[in-house]
C-alpha cells in the first residue's frame, strides 16, 4: 500500500467529511481558491462548491464567532486559523462562547466546531508564526485539544474531531506536513486517548506533534546504548490521558516529557503534576525537556538551539541515567 503524506491526510479527512455530512462547512483565509498556505486544502471548493468551502476576510474574531453561531444553529463548521499564533484574536469567541455553551445552556445544544491551525517552530517563521497555542486553551473546560504526530492519526483524528459534537482545537505541526507514513487502518481515531508509539521498558518519553518524531529518533539512538525507551504520543492535551502514561511509568519507573514550549505553563508540567499525585510510588525519576524561556527566534542557529531535537533528548536521557555517550 502506498504511503500517505500528512498534508494529504488532512485534505482527505476534510474531503470525506464534507462529502459525508451536508452540515459540514469549511472556511478560512486563503483555504478555498488558493488551497491553503500550506497546500492542505486544494480543490475542495471546486469539488464541494462555494456554499460549503469558502474564503473569508482576515478577521479571526469574526471567523471564530461566526463558526460558533453557525454551530449552535445546525451547521458543523471547520475553520482554519492559518497560524496558531493568530488564535489570540479568536480567543474571546472560543473561550467565552464555544467552550461554555454546552454547560451554561444547561445542555440545550453543543457546539460541533473544529479549529485547525498550523503550529510549531523550526520553520524559520519567527516569533509570531511559530507558537503552539494548545496550552493557551488547556485550562478551559469545554474545549478539546488534539494534534497528530503522523499521517494516519492526522486523518483519523481530524475525522473524529469533525464528527465530535464539541468544539475541538486541532493542531497541525508545520514540520509534519511533508511527512509520509502508512495510511490509517481505522476510519477514525478516538479523541482524548494517548498512543504508545514505541514500546520499551527502561524509560517513558512522552511528547506531542513533531516532538513524537524526535522522541522516536532519540529512542533509536538510545537503543544502541542498551536503553529501551517507550515513546507515548499524548495526542490530546484536553482531555489529558494521564492513565496511559501511568500504565507506562508503572513498567519503566522513569518519565521524560518533551515539550516544544517553555516549561512553565506547559502541558508537560500539568502531566507531571498528575503523575506525581497519582503515580509517585512508581516513579524513580521524572523531568521535562522544554524550550528556552524566550520567544522562538528566527536565525537558524538560534532556533535550532531553542528547540530540542532527537539528539538532545537522547543525550538528556543518557546524562540522567549516567550512561556514557557512544564514542
Partner 1 sequence: MAETQTERARERREKPGESPAEYLERYGRMRLIRRFEQEIHRLFLKGEVHGTTHLSAGQEAVPVGVCSALEPDDYVAGTYRGHGHALAKGTDPEALAAEMLGRVTGVCGGRAGSMNVVDLENGLVGCFGIVGGSIAAATGAALSAQRQGGVAVAFFGDGASNQGYFHECLNWAQVFALPVVYVCENNFYGEFTPMASVTAGGEIGIRAASFGMPSRVVDGNDLWAVREAAVEAVDRARGGDGPTLLECQTYRHYGHSKSDPAKYRPHDEVERWLARDPVDLARGRLLELGVGDDDLAAKEAEIDAQMNRAVEGALAAPYPDPHLNSGTEFKE
The residues carrying an active-site annotation are 129
Q: Is 109 in the site for partner 1 (CB under 8 A)?
A: yes
Contact with partner 1 (CB under 8 A): which of 8, 41, 45, 93? 93
DSSP secondary structure string for all residues of 244-285: HHHHHHHHHSEEEEE-SS-STTSHHHHHHHHHHHHHGGG-SE
| Beta carbon nearer to partner 1, 72 or 212 | 72
Interaction residues for partner 1, span 5-44 (CB under 8 A) = 25
Determine the Cα–Cα distance for residues 198 and 97; give it in Å rounded to an integer: 39
**Element (H or E) spanning 25, and its range?**
strand 24-28
| Beta carbon nearer to partner 1, 32 or 197 | 32
Determine the Cα–Cα distance for residues 75 and 69; give it in Å rounded to an integer: 9
Q: Is 108 in the site for partner 1 (CB under 8 A)?
A: yes
Helix (H, G, I), strand (E, B) or coil at 229: strand
Q: Is 86 in the site for partner 1 (CB under 8 A)?
A: no
Contact with partner 1 (CB under 8 A): which of 39, 46, 59, 127? 59
Place of cell 521524560: 256
Helix (H, G, I), strand (E, B) or coil at 55: strand
Q: CB within 8 A of 277, min separation 6: which ones?
A: none
Q: Is 101 in the site for partner 1 (CB under 8 A)?
A: yes
What are the φ/ψ torsions at residue 219 (nearest 5 degrees)?
-60, -40
| Beta carbon nearer to partner 1, 130 or 166 | 166
Give bridge partners of residue 25 from the DSSP assignment: 77
Q: Is 274 in the site for partner 1 (CB under 8 A)?
A: no
| Beta carbon nearer to partner 1, 123 or 192 | 192
Determine the Cα–Cα distance for residues 282 and 317; give it in Å rounded to an integer: 18
| Beta carbon nearer to partner 1, 25 or 154 | 25
Q: Is 91 in the site for partner 1 (CB under 8 A)?
A: no
Contact with partner 1 (CB under 8 A): which of 16, 21, 37, 62? 62
Residue count at the site for partner 1 (CB under 8 A)?
41
| Beta carbon nearer to partner 1, 110 or 117 | 110
Contact with partner 1 (CB under 8 A): which of 106, 185, 301, 327? 106
To 5 degrees, how large is the angle CA 288–CA 152–CA 28?
85
Contact with partner 1 (CB under 8 A): which of 3, 105, 182, 298? 105
Q: Where are the beta strands (DSSP E) in 74-140?
A: 76-83, 113-119
Q: Are strands 144-146 and 236-238 parallel, antiparallel or unpaired?
A: antiparallel
Binding part of the chain for partner 1, among 72-80, 150-158, 182-190, 260-268 by CB under 8 A, reads 72-80
Q: Is 64 in the site for partner 1 (CB under 8 A)?
A: yes
Interacting residues with partner 1 (CB under 8 A)? 25, 51, 56-57, 59, 61-62, 64-75, 77, 89, 92-93, 96-97, 100-110, 141-142, 144, 165-166
Amino acid at each position: 500500500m502506498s504511503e500517505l503524506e500528512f498534508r494529504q491526510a488532512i485534505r482527505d479527512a476534510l474531503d470525506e467529511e464534507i462529502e459525508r455530512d451536508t452540515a459540514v462547512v469549511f472556511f478560512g483565509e486563503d483555504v478555498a481558491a488558493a488551497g491553503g498556505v500550506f497546500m492542505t486544502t486544494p480543490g475542495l471548493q471546486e469539488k464541494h462548491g462555494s456554499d460549503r468551502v469558502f474564503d473569508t476576510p482576515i478577521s479571526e474574531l469574526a471567523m471564530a464567532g461566526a463558526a460558533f453561531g453557525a454551530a449552535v444553529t445546525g451547521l458543523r463548521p471547520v475553520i482554519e486559523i492559518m497560524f496558531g499564533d493568530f488564535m489570540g484574536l479568536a480567543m474571546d469567541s472560543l473561550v467565552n462562547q464555544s467552550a461554555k455553551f454546552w454547560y451554561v445552556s444547561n445542555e440545550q445544544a453543543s457546539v460541533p466546531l473544529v479549529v485547525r491551525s498550523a503550529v510549531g517552530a523550526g520553520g524559520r517563521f519567527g516569533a509570531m508564526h511559530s507558537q503552539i497555542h494548545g496550552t493557551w486553551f488547556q485550562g478551559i473546560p469545554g474545549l478539546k485539544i488534539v494534534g497528530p504526530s503522523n499521517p494516519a492519526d492526522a486523518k483519523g483524528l481530524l475525522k473524529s474531531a469533525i464528527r465530535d459534537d464539541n468544539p475541538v482545537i486541532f493542531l497541525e505541526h508545520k514540520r509534519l506536513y511533508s511527512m509520509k507514513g502508512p495510511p490509517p487502518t481505522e476510519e477514525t481515531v478516538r479523541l482524548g486517548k494517548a498512543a504508545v508509539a514505541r514500546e520499551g521498558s527502561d524509560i517513558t518519553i512522552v511528547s506531542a506533534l513533531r516532538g513524537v518524531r524526535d522522541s522516536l529518533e532519540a529512542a533509536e539512538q538510545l537503543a544502541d546504548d542498551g536503553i529501551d525507551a517507550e515513546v507515548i504520543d499524548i495526542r490530546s492535551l484536553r482531555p489529558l490521558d494521564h492513565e496511559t502514561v501511568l500504565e507506562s511509568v508503572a513498567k519503566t519507573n522513569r518519565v521524560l516529557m518533551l515539550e516544544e514550549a517553555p516549561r512553565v505553563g506547559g502541558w508537560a508540567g500539568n502531566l507531571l503534576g498528575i503523575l506525581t499525585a497519582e503515580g509517585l510510588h512508581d516513579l524513580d525519576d521524572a523531568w521535562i525537556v522544554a524550550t528556552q524561556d524566550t520567544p522562538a527566534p528566527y536565525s537558524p542557529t538560534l532556533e535550532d538551539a531553542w528547540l530540542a531535537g532527537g539528539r538532545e533528548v537522547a543525550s538528556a536521557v543518557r546524562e540522567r541515567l549516567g550512561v556514557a555517550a557512544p564514542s
